Structures are given as structure tokens and as C-alpha cells.
Amino acid sequence: MSEIVGNLSLYGGAVKAYSGVVAAFLIIFSYNSIDLMSNHWEVIQDATTEETWSLSFVEEIEILEEAMVLQDEEKQTFTFYLDDIDVPDGFLIGELNITVDDTGNDGLIANNDPTNECDSVLADVREGGLAAQWDDSNNTLSGQANDCQPFYMYLRVYPNYDGTPGNTDSVNEYQALLPWQEAGWGEGELEIDVEVNTDESLFPGQGDDDEEITITVQVVMFEATAVEISA
């Protein structure tokens, strides 16, 4: 102990200087902490407190259409290249509404002859060729009709998108819009298999062995906006 005390006495000036630096650091740190808490408390609250934001979506529509004549019992694939769509800046592809239309004259014949049957048209969307929500419970990926009327299918592309406005809690606008900024959805090819089975008309000369099928794809694109709801 005597040796330690002697060393402290020998280097007393250095010890005092070191102690002074430590004391100054503690004073400055304490001052800055108090200043931050007192003068910038609102900034801290804004950065950590969640607010309610109103979400809405602006939509634009692109129409893709293809027609093809199919023979009786023939199966063909309609292919739509979504990568070729000119998606506006800030927009993403949200969903696809698909119409399969038998554009032949079956309807006219059926109206004139109630015993006549319309051609049977079957369609299936091939899974996997497009980046989309293939397992979404709202999808309708197949359909058929034999009543001379169009039928409809649906594919959700962007996760959870349905165009419905809503509210969300977030600390700022950026965080509120983050779930609606994912790139890549909607890339690839949409392929739809179609098969036709033609009818036999009771009117001589009015039967046919082919049918023209038109598929229309309504591509729904969206841009999300968020507005803070005043308390």
C-alpha cells in the first residue's frame, strides 16, 4: 500500500488531469442527455409512436385479348406476355380478371331451337408461369360453360391486393406503404388451356365442328397512397 500511495504522489499531476477529463466528460454527457430529453422529446415520440394511416389505391387497367378457332375436341394454349405491358412508374400489377367467350353463333341457334345444345368450352389457367399468388383462396383458375355465355376466372397477383381501401398503424408514411412496394409480382407468362366440344344441331346444315374462342385478360395495376388520420 505504501508503494501504491507513493506512486500516486509521484504522478499526482497526471492523476488530477485524468480525473478532470473524466469529470468533464460526465458533465457534457449529462448535459446532452438532459438537452435531448427536454428539447427533442417530441422528435423521439414521432419516431417511436405509431399513428393511423388511411390507405387507398389508384388503379389503371390494361386489356390483353386473343382469339383462336378450335376444332371439335381440340385443346390449345393461349399465352399472354405480361412482361410486355407498359406499367406506369410507381404502379404494380395487382390482379387479373379473365373472360372466356364463345363468340360463335351457338347462342343464336339455341334461341331458335330450344332442343339445340351450345358448344362446351373448358378452360384452365396453368400454374407457375407467372409470379403470382397461386395458393390464394380467392382464385378461380378453371371454368367451363355450355350455355353460350362467357365465363370468368380470377388470379390474385400481388399479396393480399383487392383494391379495397383501409387503415393501418405505422410510425410514418414510408412504413405504412412498405407492404405495397414489393417488385417482381406479375412477371412472366400467363398461359390458359382451352378445349372445345362442339354440339350437333338438329337443324340441317347448322351444326359445326369448330368454334372461335376469345380470351380477354384485364390486368389491374395499382399505386398505393397513405394519408395520416388526424387524432
CATH topology of domain 52-228: Jelly Rolls (2.60.120)
Position 166 scores a pLDDT of 95
Nearest to 210 by CA among 108, 73, 68, 71: 71
Confidence of residue 130 (pLDDT cuts 50, 70, 90): very high
Q: Looking at the predicted structure, is the pLDDT value of residue 41 above 70?
A: no
pLDDT for 3 equals 67
The predicted model gives 72-82 an average pLDDT of: 95
Sign of CA dihedral 168, 169, 172, 178: negative
CB 121 within 8 A of CB 211: yes
pLDDT, one tens digit per residue, over 183-220 is 999 999 999 999 999 866 555 445 567 889 999 999 99
Q: Is the pLDDT of residue 21 over 70?
A: no
Is the pLDDT confidence value at 4 over 80? no
Phi, psi of 112, deg, nearest 5 = -80, -25
Q: How confident is the model at residue 43 (pLDDT cuts 50, 70, 90)?
A: very low
Query: What residue type is assigned to position 4 of the chain?
Result: I
pLDDT tens, residue by residue, 144-186: 999 889 999 999 999 999 999 999 999 999 999 999 999 999 9
Gap between the Cα atoms of 199 and 89, Å rounded: 48
133: exposed, middle or buried (Cβ count in 10 Å: 0-12, 13-18, 19+): middle
pLDDT at 37 over 80: no
- The pTM (predicted TM-score) of the whole model is 0.74
Please tell me which residue, 115 or 104, carries the higher pLDDT value: 104
